[in-house]
Amino acid sequence: MSGAASTLRDYLTTPTPRSRRHAALQRAWLAWRRLRNNPTAMAGLGIIVLIVLVAAFAPWIATHSPFEQNLNNRLAPPSAAHWLGTDEFGRDVYSRLVYGSRVALRIIGLVTVITGPIGLLIGAIAGYAGGWVDAALMRITDIFLAFPRLILALALTSALGPNIDNAILAIGITGWPPLARLARAETLTIRASDFIAAARVIGASATRIVVGHVMPLCMPSLIVRLTLDMAGVILIAAGLGFLGLGAQPPQPEWGAMIAAGRKFVFDQWWIAAIPGIAICVLSLGFNLFGDGLRDALDPKTHS
């Protein structure tokens, strides 16, 4: 880092990027600036950051252990001692809600780790290879797309056995096809571009081209899609939890908390109502942020 680019700001805004990484960083900077001017996207980001912080500092934010039972103080209404009341085992609902953010974020993180790479790999390979490879991979993708996602996830979790790891696996398995489709479409455009032709001329291998050139260029739209998808992941995970197929007791998963509160909904309504609000807020955060990200990364759709 020498010469004109003496400050970070100059480095990020100079009209003549010096390397591919430099150019990528500049694009990210530009996107960030666009994002910063989008209040709803920033609100979404704020929600996500807040919940990540809550999850990270849960032991300090919670007032009780999320597992500690007190059978003599069951189903208590909100009070100074228990801000959001207690559940059927006398556990503190507020503290369970706080720790529940960890479960939610863990599900989102792991699902993304499963769906992102699989979708990208399959889509890029299909798009770049073309021919029968493309046909075969896309056929498989279509088969998975033919199932309504929730229903396939339900059937899978019930078959694998109801627990949170299987739920994550099931959501992941049902989540990659749209990403693969997207990555393939991107790859088709990229493949047709001049610089890929140039790379091929100088003798770069297919693997190198796909990994080094195609995949990085698919990333922006993939990230947008993944972010928007996270809201869906939260809802499906909560649905599985609600049906008893997701996280298991005593884990404070929000969907399972609603299911437990369902028994008392007509008398102690807050037990079911509160975790639902948490789900809405987190998923709203990802939706707002994802929308903003799409506008920032993909100016074409800016309307």
Partner 1 sequence: MLRKLAGLSGSIVLTVLGLLAVTFVIGRVVPIDPVLSVIGENAPPGAYERARADLGLDQPLHVQFGRFVKKAVTGDFGVSVLTARPVIDDLKRVFPATIELASLATLIGVLLGVPLGIVAAVRHQTWVDHLARILALIGHSVPVFWIGLMGLLVFYAELGWVGGPGRQSIAFLDIVPVRTGMILLDCLIDGDFESLADAFRHIVLPASVLGLFSLAYICRMTRSFMIEQLSKEYITAARIKGLSEWRVVMGHALRNIAVPLVTVIALSYGYLLEGSVLTETVFAWPGLGNYLTDSLLRSDMNGVLGGTIVIGAIFIGLNLLSDILYRLLDPRTR
Partner 2 sequence: MKKVALALAAVLATTGVASAQTPRDTLVVGWKFDDILSLDPHESFEFAGSEFGAQVYDKLITFDPQNIGPIKPGVAESWSVSGDGKVITFKVRQGIKFHSGNPLTAEDVAYSVQRAVTMNKSPAFIITQFGLNKDNVKDKAKAVDASTFTIETDKAYATSFVLNCLSANVSSIVDSKLVKSNEKDGDWGNTWLKTNSAGSGAFKLTQWRANETLSYERNDAYWQGAPKLRRVVGRYMADANTRRLALEKGDIDVARDLQSDQVKALQSNANVNVRSIRKAYIWYLGLSTKHEHLKKPQVQQALKHLIDYDQVANTVLAGAYANQQTIIPQGFLGSIDDKPFKLDVAKAKQLLAEAGVPNGFSVTMDVTNTYPSPEIAQAIQATFAQAGVKLELIPGDFRATLTKYRARNHDIYVGRWGSDFLDPHSNADTFAKNVNNADDAPAKPLAWRNSWQSKEFSDMVEAAMIERDTEKRKQIYENLQRKFTQSSPFVVAFQNTELVAERKNVKGLAIGPISETTFFRMVEKN
- Rounded (5°) CA angle 227-242-247: 75
- State which of positions 275-294 bind partner 1 (CB under 8 A): 276, 279-280, 283-284, 287-288
- The distance of closest approach from Cβ of residue 72 to partner 2 in the complex, given in angstroms and rounded to an integer, is 7
Nearer to partner 1 among residue 86 and residue 283 (C-beta):
283
- From 103, 171, 231, 271, residue interacting with partner 1 (rule: CB under 8 A): 231
For residue 222, give Cα distances in angstroms to 32, 51, 74, 210.
17, 23, 46, 15
| Paired tokens of 73 | 């103080």
Q: Which H helix or E strand runs over 230?
A: helix 215-242
**How far is it, in rounded angstroms, from Cα 206 to Cα 98?**
47
Buried b (16+ CB within 10 A) or exposed e, 54-81: bbeebeeebebebeeeeeebbbbeeeee
Give the closest residue to 282 by CA, choosing from 231, 226, 225, 227: 231
From the list partner 1, partner 2, none, pick the one residue 231 interacts with, judged by a Cβ distance below 5 to 8 Å according to partner type.
partner 1
What is the number of H-type helices and E-type strands within the chain?
Answer: 13, 0
Nearer to partner 2 among residue 198 and residue 265 (C-beta):
265
148 binds partner 1 (CB under 8 A): yes
| Paired tokens of 245 | 């197929």
Nearer to partner 1 among residue 15 and residue 161 (C-beta):
161
From the list partner 1, partner 2, none, pick the one residue 71 interacts with, judged by a Cβ distance below 5 to 8 Å according to partner type.
partner 2
**How far is it, in rounded angstroms, from Cα 8 to Cα 21?**
14
From the list partner 1, partner 2, none, pick the one residue 223 interacts with, judged by a Cβ distance below 5 to 8 Å according to partner type.
none
264 binds partner 2 (CB under 8 A): yes
Nearer to partner 2 among residue 130 and residue 250 (C-beta):
250
| Paired tokens of 154 | 């339900």
Q: Angle between the 149-160 and 164-191 helix axes, to the nearest 10 degrees? A: 140
- From 62, 121, 156, 209, residue interacting with partner 1 (rule: CB under 8 A): 156
276 binds partner 2 (CB under 8 A): no
45 binds partner 1 (CB under 8 A): no
- The distance of closest approach from Cβ of residue 69 to partner 2 in the complex, given in angstroms and rounded to an integer, is 4
- From 143, 198, 206, 211, residue interacting with partner 1 (rule: CB under 8 A): 143
Residues contributing to the site for partner 1 (CB under 8 A): 139-140, 142-144, 146-152, 154-156, 158-161, 231-232, 235, 238-239, 242-245, 255, 258, 262, 265-266, 269, 272-273, 276, 279-280, 283-284, 287-288, 303
